[in-house]
Amino acid sequence: MKFFVDTANLDQIKEAYDLGVLDGVTTNPSLMAKEGIKGKEKQYQHYVKICDLVQSDVSAEVISTDYEGMIKEGEELAALNPHIVVKVPCIADGIKAIKHFSNKGIKTNCTLVFSLGQALLAAKAGATYVSPFIGRLDDIGDDGIDLVAKIVATYRYYGYATEVLAASIRNVTHILQCVEVGADVATCPLDAIKGLLNHPLTDSGLAKFLADYKKVNG
């Protein structure tokens, strides 16, 4: 399973990259706003900085909600760097735009996916990635992982090439559940990725090894 980090923060992206296990980055307008990056030019420069840092897929989301706007914006974003993946909301004009980008060989991430029907349309339009939002479904009492599992099974059954990119991941349990259901990618906050390392027996075992070494070697 590939690991993407779900942030626009350059320090966090660098920390995830330096771990040596990073396969890409996802951003969204809220994450960009959190970094205080104002204005199209600055935002585009920020995407390029992220691409230069990680040299792998970086999702950059369009703000337009109409077909023409999405095409213009998506083509601008794709021209910034070959690692840009154009992130498009799962609405009718978005599906049409994904089809257009797919025909032009531009990578896409179909975002804000909350149902199997939406995921089916994204795959049929030729999306590179589909992003079901686990945490937001859990928040309303639905079952985010169950949706990821259904999309994975459906894509495998019909042989769709679209990769299932589990998003809105909030914790380590979500990541491990993604592994169990065979998601292709999990995009996670940095803390959740680092949380995979935590085990008390690792900490106590290491402390004992070092203490025993010190007893003999001083």
Q: Catalytic residues, which ones?
A: 87
**109 close to 26: Cβ distance less than 8 angstroms:** yes
Nearer to ligand E4P, 134 or 149 (CB): 134
Region of residue 141 (phi > 0: left; psi between -120 and 50: alpha; otherwise: beta)? left
The interface mask with ligand E4P, positions 175-194, x = CB under 6 A, is ------------x-------
| Of the candidate residues 108, 162, 168, 177, the single one contacting ligand E4P (CB under 6 A) | 168
| Per-position DSSP letters for 98-167, written without gaps between them | HHHHHHTT--EEEEEE-SHHHHHHHHHHT-SEEEEBHHHHHHTT--HHHHHHHHHHHHHHHT---EEEEB
6 is an interface residue for ligand E4P by CB under 6 A? yes
Shortest separation between residue 168's beta carbon and ligand E4P, angstroms? 3
162 is an interface residue for ligand E4P by CB under 6 A? no
| Of the candidate residues 124, 136, 150, 194, the single one contacting ligand E4P (CB under 6 A) | 136
| CA–CA separation, 2 and 4 (whole Å) | 7
| CA–CA separation, 110 and 136 (whole Å) | 16
Q: Which residue's beta carbon is nearest to the bound ligand E4P? A: 168
Shortest separation between residue 152's beta carbon and ligand E4P, angstroms? 17
Shortest separation between residue 89's beta carbon and ligand E4P, angstroms? 10
111 is an interface residue for ligand E4P by CB under 6 A? yes
For residue 201, how many C-alpha atoms fall within 13 Å in the half-sphere facing its CB?
A: 0
Shortest separation between residue 203's beta carbon and ligand E4P, angstroms? 29
Strand partners, 186: 3, 166
| Of the candidate residues 7, 43, 118, 131, the single one contacting ligand E4P (CB under 6 A) | 131
| Of the candidate residues 133, 145, 149, 177, the single one contacting ligand E4P (CB under 6 A) | 133
**3 close to 25: Cβ distance less than 8 angstroms:** no
**174 close to 149: Cβ distance less than 8 angstroms:** no
Nearer to ligand E4P, 6 or 57 (CB): 6
Binding window for ligand E4P (CB under 6 A); candidates: 12-20, 69-77, 130-138, 178-186 = 130-138
Q: How many other C-beta atoms can be found within 10 angstroms of the C-beta atom of residue 71?
A: 20
Residues near ligand E4P, by CB under 6 A: 6, 26, 28, 111, 131, 133, 135-136, 167-168, 187
